[in-house]
Structure 1
Amino acid sequence: MAKAILAVDIGGTSIKFAKWTDNQLTQLGSEKTPDNLAAFYQLLVQKKDQLAAQMQVVGVAISSPGAVNKKSGVIEGTSAVPYLHGFPIEPELKKRLALPVSIENDANCAGLAESLMGAGRDADTMISLVIGSGVGGAVIIDHHIWHGAHLFGGEFGYMVMDPEVGATLSNLASPVNQARLFSQEIGRDVSGKEMFELAEKGDSLAQKYVDRIVTALAQAAYNLQNSLDVDKIVLGGAVSANPHLLPLIDAKIDMLQRKVDAPGLHPSVVVGKYRNQANLMGAVLDFCQSRSLAINEIK
Structure 2
Amino acid sequence: MKKYIVFDVGGTNVKHGIILEDYTILSKNTYPTQCSNLEFFLADMLHVIEEYTSSQQISGIAISLPGYINPQTGYSEQAGSITALDNQNLKELLEAKVALRVEIENDGNCAALAEKLNGNAVDCTDFICMTIGTGIGGGIFVNNQILHGTSFRGGEFGFMITQGGQGIKSIMHRNASTSSLIHAYKQLIGMEMEETISGEQVFFEAITNPDVQALIDSWLKSLSYGIFNLAVTLNPQKLLIGGGISVRENLINHLMDHLEEIPFWHEFKIPIEICKHKNDAGMIGAFYHFKRTSEVQAVC
Relative to the length of structure 2, the TM-score reads 0.84
* Corresponding letter in the other structure for 2:206: A
**Residue segments in structure 2 that go unaligned for 5+ positions in a row:** none
Show CA shifts across 1:11-68 (max 9, x none).
3454332111152112243344457545555554554454345544221101123211
Partner SS, residue 292 of structure 1: helix
| CA gap 1:182/1:52 in 2 versus in 1, 3 angstroms | closer
Correspondent of 1:196 among 178, 186, 203: 203
How many residues were matched structurally? 288
Show CA shifts across 1:115-138 (max 9, x none).
222222222111111112321111
Partner SS, residue 233 of structure 2: helix
Partner of 1:290: 293
> Whose radius of gyration is greater, 1 or 2?
1
TM superposition shift of 1:156: 0.6
Mapping 1:219-298, distance limit 5 Å: 219-256=225-262, 259-260=263-264, 263-292=266-295
Distance 2:33 2:172 in 1: 28
Q: Work out whether 1:83 is the aligned partner of 2:84.
A: yes
| CA gap 1:80/1:219 in 2 versus in 1, 3 angstroms | closer
Distance 2:212 2:157 in 1: 25
Distance 1:43 1:180 in 2: 27
Distance 1:132 1:278 in 2: 13
Partner SS, residue 230 of structure 1: coil
| CA gap 1:284/1:174 in 2 versus in 1, 3 angstroms | same
TM superposition shift of 1:266: 0.6
* 8 Å CA contact retained: 1:221, 1:267: no
Distance 1:48 1:134 in 2: 26
| CA gap 1:124/1:27 in 2 versus in 1, 3 angstroms | same
**% identity of equivalent residues:** 28
* 8 Å CA contact retained: 2:71, 2:106: no
* 8 Å CA contact retained: 1:112, 1:144: no
* Corresponding letter in the other structure for 1:6: I
**Residue segments in structure 1 that go unaligned for 5+ positions in a row:** 294-299
| CA gap 1:91/1:225 in 2 versus in 1, 3 angstroms | same
* 8 Å CA contact retained: 2:62, 2:287: yes
Partner of 2:109: 108
Partner of 1:19: 18
* RMSD between aligned residues: 2.6
| CA gap 1:12/1:195 in 2 versus in 1, 3 angstroms | closer
Relative to the length of structure 1, the TM-score reads 0.84
Partner SS, residue 97 of structure 2: helix
